Structures are given as structure tokens and as C-alpha cells.
Structure 1
Amino acid sequence: MKLEDVLQKHFNYSSFRIGQKEIISSILDGKHTIAMLPTGTGKSLCYQLPGYLLKGKIVIVSPLLSLMQDQVEQMMMNGEKRVIALNSFLSHEEKYQALHQLSKYKFIFLSPEMLRSDQVMNKLKEIGIDLFVIDEAHCISQWGYDFRPDYNKLGEIRERLGSPLTLALTATATPEVKDDIITSLKIGEWEEFIYSVDRPNISLIVESIRTYKEKTERLVELITSLEGPGIIYFSSKKLSEQMVSLFKERGFSKVAAYHGGLEQETRILIQQQFIQGQLDVICATSAFGMGINKDNIRYVIHFHMPLQLESYLQEIGRAGRDGKQSLALLLYSPGDEQLPNQLVEGELPSDAQLDWLYKWLMEHREALNNLSLFESEIKRVSGFTDNQWRMVEAFLQCNNGAHIEKTIDQLKKFINERMLIKLNKIQEMYRWTQLTECRRKKILNYFNEEKTIEMKNCCDCCGVDYSEFYSFITKEPSIKIESSFHWKNHLAEILLSERKNEE
């Protein structure tokens, strides 16, 4: 059967997007494969389609619980019932039932933490794996912007599972990160498919705005004038909700907030309302977007500066998946770079927290035999967040509880190195917002690529015709402010030009 026939039968598509067929063919030829495809080009198809042609199970390791749930829900809504996610969303009883019925599932999504369980590993060995998929594979590399200690163990886990056929997928990886992925996974020979991170149909714009108040009013102006649908990213759950309230006060009703603090049912509802066109704008944190199958998003706005170019590319890549012209707009105010610095400091455990943990472990050595039993108490007293604790726990388990002092010292060293990497990436992102030359060229150079084609509406430094992004059915903004450009003037010019043409 031709691959295009399988594509039509199971996914109702008549043709493949760039890279998909080559990657799928490599997998079906039994070759370990590393693939870098830009966000929005359909990475999930690269393991879902082979799943219908391979006899055994497809295991997908995913770092984000929300992404995992999104993918499972989408597959089920598309008619695939043999799919399950094993993660912390499951109760003890649900996990027990899932493991005992695991052989009936074709697609098994797993968090890397779940692979630490001997019970899970033994069950996976028992049912057999035809394809081992690592999604967001950049998380393997300590040089990556989103390094996860548990991802760094996936090479050992592959060997324990019998070194199954492996597919590593990412949207953003510098050459050094790619080399780390190859070394860590221990896959010997492999096929490599590296495609450009560039999305030529997305125009890149940075607007400098003096104050927070002006930035807020500019945002109101934008959503009442831009052709949607769109996503607005914030670094704060609270602010995303406040903006929704403000938009509704200004008469814009088809808007909702989305963040990790919402109940799972609420998140799924908002996603579906957005996909079905019942919502025009989502005010979101970075929790939103991964796995969202909506191809007509016309703009992505960043109210806050992202922490690094890699995540910026992933987030703007949710626009224009239909290939039509779309807009990525970052609103920058002086001092915005301070918030990412604070967020990075909050992501990593402090020396004071680790010193407390060292003393506590010296007094409770029995806890090292089963850290999960003491997790709640440790987090309550120490103030570790969930992410901080996962990092700490991974280091302690790597050393099997031996040499506590040495382990804590190694962890402190690792955290200091991670802090430097993250701060450097924030500075790289900040410098990009201050460019006076082509923004696209700078991003491509960051990933060791060259800008080889000239394009219309490349970026604000090269020149952008903003009028192409405005809706002809607009609302009057509630408040008029000064900004770097005026959409109403552009719109008036267009209408006047059209009248002259008609005459």
C-alpha cells in the first residue's frame, strides 16, 4: 500500500508536508531516525502513521503532561481508541488497571518519570515495542533550553527495553544539542533529517512601547483590528486572566484564558472551543499550543519577552500552519528582560533549599529508600515546586542515596551551570528584540543556517505592510493611544485606493 493511501485512509490528508514522508519511510525501513521539523509541520504524524503499519506497540515519551493529554484526546476524537497516557494524572487504581490492560493499546504515551518504575518497565518488556519515540528530544541535552534530567537517562532505558527502533523528534535544536541527543541515546547508526527552522509565511515584528499601561492599550487595539484567530502569550497566569476580563469589558467576548492552573476538563473545553471557532483569542501561558491542531491561526502576540529564542520559535510556529501569511508580534517595554530572569531563578532550587535538604536527609536517611513517600513533607517544608523537586529527586536517585553531601554539591554545581545557560539565552533573546537589521537572519544564524531567500513582509527591520494583517470587519478601540504605527490610517489608505480603482 502506498503511504499516501495510508495517509488518506487514517488522517484524511491527500499529501504529506515537508519531511514527513522521508522520516516515515526511514522508520519503516527499520532505521533509527533523528528529525528536526519546525513547529507546525506535523511531527506527530511521523510516528502515528507508522503505527498503523507496524505490528507492535508505539511508545511515545513526552515531557509535558498537558501535551501528552492533548495528543491522546486528539487521537481519540479522530477515532483511535487504542491510545493511553501513563502519567501522574492517573490515580493509583487507574494506573493499576492501565498496566494490566496495556497490551490492548497500540499507542502508549509516557512521561519520562513513569519510566523510572520497574513495574512499568517490566510491562513494556512483556508487551514488546516496535517503535520508541522521544518527543521534544532537545530535553535530553544539558545545553538545551529545556533540559530534563530524566530525559538524560533515555539511552539507558532504551537498552533495558532491548534497544528498539527509535525516533527522536524536535522542532528546535542547535548543532551541539543535536550531538548531545545522538550521544545520549546510544543508537549507533541513524538516519538524520534536519529541516530549516524558518517559517517564511510568518512576519516577525517587535514593537517598543514605553509603559505597561500603553502596552495594555496597544493589546486592546491589536485584537480589535487584526484578522484572527490569535494567541497572546503571557508569563503570568494571573495576568492572562486579567486581560480576558479587560477584553470582555471592552466588548470582545470570544476570548478565554488558558494556563496550567486550570482543571483538565476546562483546558480541554477551551482547546475545543478555540479549534471549532467558538473562541477567537486565547490569552495563554506557554502551557497552551503544543498539540493544538488548528491551522488557521493568523497571529501570535507575546506580551512578555520569552526566555529564549527556541521557545519563541515554537510558540510563533503555531501561527500560519495553513501556509498563509501570519504575524508574530512581540511587545517590548524597557526592563521586560527582568521578568525572565526572575522566572529562571524560580525554576531552579536555591542553595538555601538544598542546604536544608541535606540536613533533613542526614536526619532521615530512611527516606532515601523511597523518596516518593516523603515527597509531600519535603516540598511543604522546603518550598520546592514540582519542577524543582523532580530535578532534585532525579539527582538523588542517580546516586541511589549514597554520598549525600557529594550529591548535593554536584546538584549545586549543575544548577549554577543551568542558571548561566538560561541567563545567556535571555540575553540572546533581549539582543534580538533590539536589532536594527533582519530579525529572521539572526534567528537562522543562531541555528547555523543562512537566509537564502528574500521575502515580502519578512520583519519590521526589513519592512512590513501591516495592512495585510488587518480585518476589514473591525471594532472601534475604546481608547486611542500613540503607538509606533496606526492601523486606522493604513486601513483608510487601502479603502481610498480601492475607491479610486473602482472609479
Structure 2
Amino acid sequence: MELEKLLKKYFGYSTFKTGQKEVISAIINGEHTLAMLPTGTGKSLCYQLPGYIFEGQILIISPLLSLMQDQVEQMKRLGEKRVVALNSFLSHQEKEEVLRVLNKYKFIFISPEMLRVPYIIKRLQGLSLSLFVVDEAHCISQWGYDFRPDYSKLGEIRKLLGSPLTLALTATATVKVRQDIIQSLGLTKVTKVESTIDRPNIAFYVEEIADYRDKEKRILALVNELQKPGIIYFSSKKAAEHMADLLANELNFRSSVYHGGLEQDTRILIQQQFIHNQLDIICATSAFGMGVNKGNIRFVIHYHMPMQMESYLQEIGRAGRDGAPSIAILLYSPGDEQLPIQLAEAELPSEQQIDWLFSRPDFNQMTSDRAFVLSETLKELGGFNEVQGRIIEELVNRSNQEISSLQLKEFVKGFTKKRLQAKRNHIFQMKQWVEVKNCRRKYIMEYFDDRLATDVNLCCDRCGLDLTHFHSANAHQLLDAGDGTWIEYLRKLLFNSEMSK
């Protein structure tokens, strides 16, 4: 079978990108496969092409609604009509209709939360699954940077579905996380396709800024100077909204904000506007990331320090998918690491919350049930957010039912303590990268047990990188005009912005 002919026939490409052919060949040969391919190298092709070879359905588990919707829309634009996403975007009536004719679909995208519904599992068991795909597979591992409790159940789900041929895909996973993925999914005799994580066309630049006021000024100057389009990442919804307003209303840039607090329809609209060149700048939280398939993003700026190297590479990986030079800029102020530490602590139940929960008679009664679900009343009384609640549920259901309540409490505390320490270590490693005196790219490669294959000319600020390589022609004209008009306007804008706070 000549894969290049099929590639040309179904997708219009003449050659495969890094790692694609190796992954597809392994899948076609019936080998369970773990693929770690760089962001932007077309991981979705690794299950789409086998779908046109295999007789049965391809089930793709995906962690983000926006990621699913983007993949479905892309496939439909390429002419594939037998594709559907089973998620909360569907109304009850639409979901019932899809499930009624589920065997008519070739590619079925589904959220891990949907796999918790027994009726949906039953409908999936009635299909002839040729391939079980776990996208963003690092979400499985409790040591991964983006652990999702629902992902940890995928090994059990896979068994319920008859242990089909499996493909696990990720762009950023350490050796430990990769081992955890294989073990959690219950895979044996796994073929590993582990390409370099390096994207040589993305340069790294870290700039130390005194405080957030100076950061705002620097963002405005950078956006004016740099080639566009671009993304600016924030850890705060409020900060993202404020900057989007500044850029759009005061400086007249085509910018918008994207975060998890927006309505689903609004998020889809903004994403589509950006992809179709109706917006030049997105001010976003980490909710905007996976699945954004736009080739010509020229810059990614981080206003806040990310929580770990893995998510940082995921986010900057949005840039330069067309292969052209792009820049990743991180603005750091002393003490910036405190915010990610606070966010990490907020993702996990505290010792006080765990002690309170286990002291409740109604909680101890609920844990005797076959499947434990934390009630809305206890969530509200104990101050548990959605993520904390799911972690509690997962840990209680994962534990041995024969252990005592005290042992169960200590098990939950032990997990959260280890998880928090792992997150703190990730933050410390990210800060080390900010402060490193040598090549930033080399540090990243060593972190992932990888090695540079070739020298990179436009590498990083530690290797003498000059940001003017990434300036736009329009920015040069404005800044080189010599009359000071633009600079004076920028100063007035920033002064007025600060006075209004």
C-alpha cells in the first residue's frame, strides 16, 4: 500500500510531515502506538488517513470542546460528511438523533465526560471500532501538566469497548508521563514514535519588566512592532479583557478576548474570526490553545509566567505552523511565580476541605455506594470548585473499597500533596528557564530528554537574538517617521489608562 497516493487522494498533500508516516504505518500494521509529535505537525492526520483504510469507526477522545469543533469543521470543509462530535454543544434532541444513527458516522469525536454515561457506552459497544484514539494523551497521567480525572478512566473504558487498536497522541510529555500513559491505557507491545519536540522556526525571547504597568506599555509597543497575527496569553480573565479593550478601542487593532467564562457560541465565533483573518490579535487564557489550526500566527506573547514548560510549549506551538519564522516572547516581573503557585493550589482540595468532608456523616454514607458522586450540597458547603470535586470523586472511586474512612482520607491527602509538589516543581523549573544564562532552546530540549538535530540561527535572546527580525514593515514606518507622533500618542494613552484605574 502506497501511503503517499492515499495522502494525495484524500488530503491533497504530496509528502508527510515529521513522524506522520511512521505513526500511520504502525497503526495500519495493527500496532498500538504512542506518538509524541511537535505541535503543528498534523497529528490529526495520523488517525484520519487510517480511517479511510479501515472498515470500522474511528473513536477520538478529545479534552476540549473547541478542539473537537475545530477538527469536525476542518474535516467537513475537506468534504468528509461522516463526522460528528458528541459533546455538550448538542441539544438533547440532536444527541438522541446522533446516537440513533451512530453507526452511519465514520469519525466520532467524544469528550471524556460523555464516556461517563452508561447509555453512550452501550451505543459505542454496538459499533465496530477500528481505532481508539486518545488525543492530548498527557491528560491521562497524574504527573502530566494537564491531568484530567475523567481521562484516567480511559483504560477501563477501552476494556469495555473490547480493547480496540489504540493510538495515543501528545506533543509534550516527559519520559515519566509517556510511561504513565501506556500503563493507564493498559497497552502492551506499544510502538513509540517520538519525534523531536523542537520547532526551529520559533525563536525564544524573555524580557524582564519592572511591574504590570510597564508590562502593559511593553505589550502595546510589541503589538505595534511585531508582524501579525498573534496571541497574547494571560493567567487572568480580567487582565485579558483589559488588554483586548486597550488594543481594540484605544489603538484600533482588530483584537478580541477569549477565555472559559465566555458563552460557547461566542468562543466559537471568536476562534473562527481569528482563523479566517478577521482578527489580528487574541488576548486569551489557556482555554484558547489546542485545536487552533491557523498557519500564519507570527507571535505568541505571555503576559504571565506559565505554570510549566509543557503548557508553555503547547501555547507557543500555535505560532509558525506554516514554517515561517515566528517569535515567542515571555514578559517576566520579579515575583511572577506567585500567581501560578496560587492557581496550582486552587486546582486541588486543601487539607482543611478534605478534613471537613470526611467528618460529614452524609459523606461517609455516600462513599458506601458503588459509584461515588459528590453532591452539589457538599460542593457548595465545602467550597469545592468543579475540578476539586472531580478529583475527590476520582480518588474515592479509584481507592480500594475495603479500606477504612481514615485510610481513604489519608490516601486523598497523600495524592493531593504529591500533585501539588509536582506542580510547584514545574513552576520552579519554568522560573529556572526564565533565569537561565545559556541557550533557552537547549534547556528545553534537555528537559524533555531531547537533543538538537541542527543549529538554529534565530534561536533565543541568550544566543543574541534581535527582535527586529520579527518587526512588521508598518511598525518600522510608524516608529521611524521621526516626528514622535506615534510615541506621544502611546504615552498619552498609557497615562489615561493608568489614571482611570
Q: Same fold (TM over 0.5)?
A: yes
1:90, CA displacement in angstroms? Answer: 4.2
Q: Please, which runs of 5 or more residues in structure 2 have no aligned partner?
A: 479-485, 493-501
Change beyond 3 A, Cα 1:376–1:74? farther
Q: In the alignment, is the contact (CA less than 8 A) between 2:258 and 2:283 conserved in 1?
A: yes
Is 1:224 matched with 2:224? yes
> Deviations 1:385-411 (Å, cap 9, x if unpaired)?
221111112223334876444333211
Change beyond 3 A, Cα 1:467–1:154? same
Q: Where does residue 443 of structure 1 map in the other structure?
A: 444
1:205, CA displacement in angstroms? Answer: 0.5
Q: Where does residue 342 of structure 2 map in the other structure?
A: 342
Q: In the alignment, is the contact (CA less than 8 A) between 2:253 and 2:281 conserved in 1?
A: no
Q: Where does residue 147 of structure 1 map in the other structure?
A: 147
Q: Where does residue 384 of structure 2 map in the other structure?
A: 384
Q: Where does residue 203 of structure 1 map in the other structure?
A: 203
Q: In the alignment, is the contact (CA less than 8 A) between 1:367 and 1:374 conserved in 2?
A: no
Q: Where does residue 458 of structure 2 map in the other structure?
A: 457
Picking from 479, 483, 488, the partner of 2:490 is: 479
Matched residue of 1:461: which SS? Answer: helix
AA paired with 2:22? E
Matched residue of 2:461: which SS? Answer: coil
Matched residue of 2:197: which SS? Answer: coil
Of residues 15-24 and 334-343 in structure 1, the stretch that sits farther from structure 2 once superposed is 15-24
Matched residue of 1:21: which SS? Answer: helix
> Deviations 1:154-187 (Å, cap 9, x if unpaired)?
2232222221111011101111111222222222
Q: In the alignment, is the contact (CA less than 8 A) between 1:227 and 1:471 conserved in 2?
A: yes
1:299, CA displacement in angstroms? Answer: 0.6
Q: Where does residue 328 of structure 2 map in the other structure?
A: 328
Matched residue of 2:149: which SS? Answer: coil
> Deviations 1:175-206 (Å, cap 9, x if unpaired)?
11112222222221121110011111111000
Of residues 164-173 and 183-192 in structure 1, the stretch that sits farther from structure 2 once superposed is 183-192
> Deviations 1:75-133 (Å, cap 9, x if unpaired)?
33433332222234445444443332221221112222322332222221211210001
Q: Where does residue 21 of structure 1 map in the other structure?
A: 21
AA paired with 2:262? L
Q: In the alignment, is the contact (CA less than 8 A) between 1:244 and 1:256 conserved in 2?
A: yes
The correspondence of residues 103-182 of structure 1 with structure 2, limited to 5 A, is 103-182=103-182
Q: Where does residue 407 of structure 1 map in the other structure?
A: 408
Distance in 2 between residues matched to 1:160 and 1:109, nearest whole Å: 18
Q: In the alignment, is the contact (CA less than 8 A) between 1:369 and 1:401 conserved in 2?
A: no
The correspondence of residues 301-380 of structure 1 with structure 2, limited to 5 A, is 301-360=301-360, 362=362, 365-366=365-366, 369=369, 375-380=375-380
> Deviations 1:311-370 (Å, cap 9, x if unpaired)?
111111111111111100000011111110011011111122223322345367258648
Distance in 2 between residues matched to 1:406 and 1:89, nearest whole Å: 40
Q: Where does residue 33 of structure 2 map in the other structure?
A: 33
Change beyond 3 A, Cα 1:204–1:362? same
Q: Please, which runs of 5 or more residues in structure 1 have no aligned partner?
A: 482-503
Distance in 2 between residues matched to 1:209 and 1:163, nearest whole Å: 52
Change beyond 3 A, Cα 1:172–1:17? same
Distance in 2 between residues matched to 1:326 and 1:187, nearest whole Å: 38
Matched residue of 1:224: which SS? Answer: helix
Distance in 2 between residues matched to 1:447 and 1:272, nearest whole Å: 33
Q: Where does residue 494 of structure 1 map in the other structure?
A: none
Of residues 446-455 and 90-99 in structure 1, the stretch that sits farther from structure 2 once superposed is 90-99
1:46, CA displacement in angstroms? Answer: 0.7
> Deviations 1:258-277 (Å, cap 9, x if unpaired)?
11111111111111111111
Matched residue of 1:301: which SS? Answer: strand
Distance in 2 between residues matched to 1:130 and 1:210, nearest whole Å: 55
With normalisation by structure 1, the TM-score equals: 0.90
Q: Where does residue 486 of structure 1 map in the other structure?
A: none
Identity of aligned residues (%): 55
Of residues 174-183 and 427-436 in structure 1, the stretch that sits farther from structure 2 once superposed is 174-183
AA paired with 1:54? F
Q: In the alignment, is the contact (CA less than 8 A) between 1:82 and 1:104 conserved in 2?
A: yes
Change beyond 3 A, Cα 1:321–1:376? same
Is 1:424 matched with 2:435? no
Distance in 2 between residues matched to 1:134 and 1:392, nearest whole Å: 23
Aligned residues: 481
AA paired with 2:11? F
Distance in 1 between residues matched to 2:307 and 2:206, nearest whole Å: 15
Of residues 53-62 and 439-448 in structure 1, the stretch that sits farther from structure 2 once superposed is 53-62
Distance in 1 between residues matched to 2:366 and 2:91, nearest whole Å: 26
Q: Where does residue 395 of structure 2 map in the other structure?
A: 395
Distance in 2 between residues matched to 1:119 and 1:400, nearest whole Å: 26
Of residues 303-312 and 3-12 in structure 1, the stretch that sits farther from structure 2 once superposed is 3-12
